[in-house]
Structure 1
């Protein structure tokens, strides 16, 4: 199923290309790297290992299964829509795969969103300072923007990635509330002192 880019997609890409400079390009390359499959996979593996060590088994499953499921859904959608990427001459990265939705935008939203959800469930401090959770969507937004700047995605690819990623995280939140509610108050000490580790579900 071929999904053609809109006129607005082309206009935004052309406008961004016209405003590129060396400093912004270097920043975009650095930020977009944090949304790569290798980096996000490493983050998930380290987080899951840490959660298992601290006996947060529900949250470990949440992050692992949620991220893996999101990745499978993202790849499936790419092949379903089979949208070509912007022209090769517009790209600052050598990449050859389908464009819709943006995997960087979708997976960074999912991974960082699930990590934020796990932190919220486990830490009283996070629940009392919920504004810190804004870091997750802000960073995912930054990553998505770099994909348009680097010319490897249309704007609607990125918008769809953010939306689908947010919906996936929302589904995970719903599942957690239904089948694994927070059963006891968690404290920051649980993350720093083994003697405070109580039995987890």
Structure 2
């Protein structure tokens, strides 16, 4: 399935869409996602929302560690050149872009719901659209196989749900407030 999807995409690439997906994959990369997470964290801290700030940054940092370890443990190769339009030095499975953008989207949506008392359909939809486009860009550019991206989304959502439901950040916030 992975090869069929990649072959179809390669046969249907369009110049302007390639440029758009290159921009999306840059913004949705490790640096871009952590910049957004840091901005959200600082904003929440300035509004005295330590739990929500810790939720976002803690889930992202720990998610990055889990994703990095999974890549090393699995060691799957990326799609071959010339199908691949971007140069990456890490393994392929799971997609870090997909996993981390899913973590950020889910935790940001949870924070929005918590602070507003109700979901903002527009903001939650933008979170979902961002992670969808980030993952799609990775397949389109040949940086990942489709299954890498699907696994990244699934792992990202599960990791975010762990942080949202189990709340490991509560202990971090409690420890910090005792100091």
TM-score, normalised by the number of residues in structure 2: 0.89
Q: Larger Cα Rg: Structure 1 or Structure 2?
A: 1
Question: Structure 2 regions of 5+ residues with no counterpart?
Answer: 172-179
- The offset of 1:128, in angstroms, is 5.1
Partners of 1:143 and 1:129 in 2: how far apart? Answer: 21
- The offset of 1:130, in angstroms, is 4.1
Q: How many residues align?
A: 170
Alignment of 1:1-201 (within 5 A): 8-124=1-117, 127=118, 129-130=120-121, 132-176=123-167
Deviations 1:68-100 (A, max 9, x none): 111000001000100000002111112121000
- The offset of 1:134, in angstroms, is 2.2
Contact kept, 8 Å, 2:71 with 2:94, in 1: the verdict is yes
Question: Structure 1 regions of 5+ residues with no counterpart?
Answer: 1-7, 181-201
TM-score, normalised by the number of residues in structure 1: 0.80
Partners of 2:8 and 2:121 in 1: how far apart? Answer: 36
Secondary structure of the residue that 1:89 maps to in structure 2?
coil
Deviations 1:136-167 (A, max 9, x none): 12210111011011011000000000000011
- The offset of 1:129, in angstroms, is 3.4
CA root-mean-square deviation: 1.7
Partners of 2:122 and 2:36 in 1: how far apart? Answer: 22
- The offset of 1:131, in angstroms, is 5.5
